Amino acid sequence: MLFKDRTAAGQVLAKELAAYANHPDVLVLALPRGGVPVAFEVAQALNAPLDVLVVRKLGVPGHKELAMGAIACDGTQVLNQEILRDYGLSEEAISQVTAKEKQELERREHLYRDSRPLPVLNGRTVILVDDGLATGATMRAAILSVQKHQPAKVIVAVPVSAPQTRQEFEAEVDEIICAKTPSPFYSVGLWYKNFPQTKDEEVCDLLKVAAERLCAAQEKSTLS
């Protein structure tokens, strides 16, 4: 079965996360850009705040879709030593890719967060959401970044994942929730009918709507 789009995938994923609805300590963090439409549906269903954790894949030179690692907004970096070895990548090559991706990461961080700091993560249940997991490089960088803040619980939630990647994450986080784990996997986009690139404008709009909805819900709760 294919997901119609990221919105539909988020609605399916939200049902898998229903046990976390209306918990005041829950925070949904999306990995932009593709994870934001998915996470928007999750946050809305759980009545939880939505924010972003900006991460960037480090693609192998000449094979940009193949991840040799990833970096997060706080400088956290992960590298796939097997990929580095197989492709004979030098320190200089890694540094060049990293420098370029840091520029894009900083651009997105400024655009999506506008100098706004990350919410407090200490002691909270953090749900990290993306539109799928292939190698899991960007999600792994996000996990390590979040864990520095000593959250009470880290949950990875995705609509679809490669079976091996899901198995690897089971040992790295408190819980991984995945609606589908098809085999053979091939790629994330294969499991969506519509899988266009998510644009910056959509990310910003969804974050704004999510914040407004949460604020309205909190006001309503206070008045009642």
Q: Does position 4 have pLDDT exceeding 90, yes or no?
A: yes
Q: Does position 217 have pLDDT exceeding 90, yes or no?
A: no
CA dist., res. 141 & res. 170, Å (int): 15
What's the pTM value of the predicted model, to 2 decimals?
A: 0.95
Rounded mean pLDDT, 104-123:
92
Asked if 53 and 29 count as a contact pair (C-beta separation under 8 A), the reply is yes
Q: How many helices, marked H, and strands, marked E, lie in the chain? A: 7, 8
Domain ranges of the chain: 6-223
pLDDT in tens, 13-39: 999 999 999 999 999 999 999 999 999
> Domain 6-223 belongs to what topology?
Rossmann fold (3.40.50)
